[in-house]
Amino acid sequence: MRGIVLGGTASGVGKTVATLAAIRALDAAGHAVRPAKAGPDFIDPSHHERVAGVPSRTLDVWMQGEEGLRRNYHRGGSDGFDPSSRGASSPAVCVVEGVMGLYDGDGSSTARVAEALDLPVVLVVDAKAGMESVAATALGFREYAAHAGRDVDVAGVIAQRAHGGRHEEGIRDALPEGIAYLGRVSPNPDLEIPDRHLGLHMGEESPLPDEALDAAAEHLDGEALADLAREPPRPPERDPRPPTGKRVAVADDAAFAFSYPATLDRLRERAEVVTFAPTRGDALPDCDAVYLPGGYPELHAPALADSDALDDLADRAAEGLPVLGECGGLMALAETLTTADGDTHEMAGVLPADVRMHDRYRALDHVELRARDDTLTAGAGETRRGHEFHYSSAEVAEDARFAFEVVRGDGIADGMDGLTEHRTLGTYAHVHPESGAFDSFLEAI
Cβ–Cβ under 8 Å, residues 384 and 429: yes
Q: H/E element holding 278?
A: none
- Length of the chain in residues, anyone? 445
Backbone phi, psi, residue 121, to 5°: -105, 130
Cα separation of 133 and 340, whole Å?
43
Check 18, 162, 193, 327 and give the catalytic one. 327
**Helix, strand, coil content of the chain in percent (nearest 5):** 35, 30, 35
Residue type, 106: D
CB neighbours of residue 303 within 10 Å: 19
What is the separation, in whole angstroms, between the first and last Cα of the chain? 36
Q: Is 327 a catalytic residue?
A: yes
Cβ–Cβ under 8 Å, residues 396 and 419: yes
Rg of the Cα atoms in the chain: 22
Q: H/E element holding 266?
A: helix 261-270
Q: Which residues, at least 6 apart from 342, have a Cβ–Cβ distance to it below 8 Å?
A: none
Which active-site residues does the annotation give?
A: 327
